[in-house]
Amino acid sequence: MKSFRSKLIVLVAAAGLLLGAAQPVLAAVPGAGACWTPVEVNSAIAKGTIQPWAKVKKLAGIADDWRDKSVKVCLMGGQPYYVVNMVSPAGAYQTFVKNAVDGTS
């Protein structure tokens, strides 16, 4: 039964992707605190408190052909982290969580 259920889930997910019904959703990240508003993010970048996402993406070694679908800055353990949903050139979604100061995980 599990095999059939697993195949059905995969089939439904694939159909949703083909029909464009699947939308990236900010994944629940364990330990994530409050997320900043765009104004707070821009202010922190201007003050040099955090790096812009483009720089953190480069520091983290994320390929340029991955596309950003949603970008947020959230506090984790008192530190700002980018929580970014991205899509690969092949269409696969992945959530990256990177320190907003130095690009580490």
Condensed to tens digits (0 to 9), the pLDDT of residues 39-62 reads 999 999 999 999 999 999 999 999
pLDDT recorded at residue 32: 62
Instruction: Confirm if 100 and 84 have CB atoms less than 8 A apart.
Output: no
Q: Which pLDDT value is given to residue 44?
A: 97
* pTM of the full structure: 0.69
Domain ranges (residues) in the chain: 25-99
For the chain, which residues score pLDDT lower than 70?
1-32
The pLDDT value given to residue 31: 57
Beta bridge partners of 85: 70, 95
What pLDDT score was predicted for residue 30?
57
User: Which tokens in the block code for residue 90?
Assistant: 């092949």
The pLDDT of residue 57: 94
Cα–Cα distances in angstroms (integers) from residue 58 to residues 23, 42, 61, in the given order: 25, 19, 5
What is the structure's pLDDT at 25?
A: 37
Q: According to the model, what pLDDT value does residue 12 have?
A: 40
Q: What is the reported pLDDT for 17?
A: 41
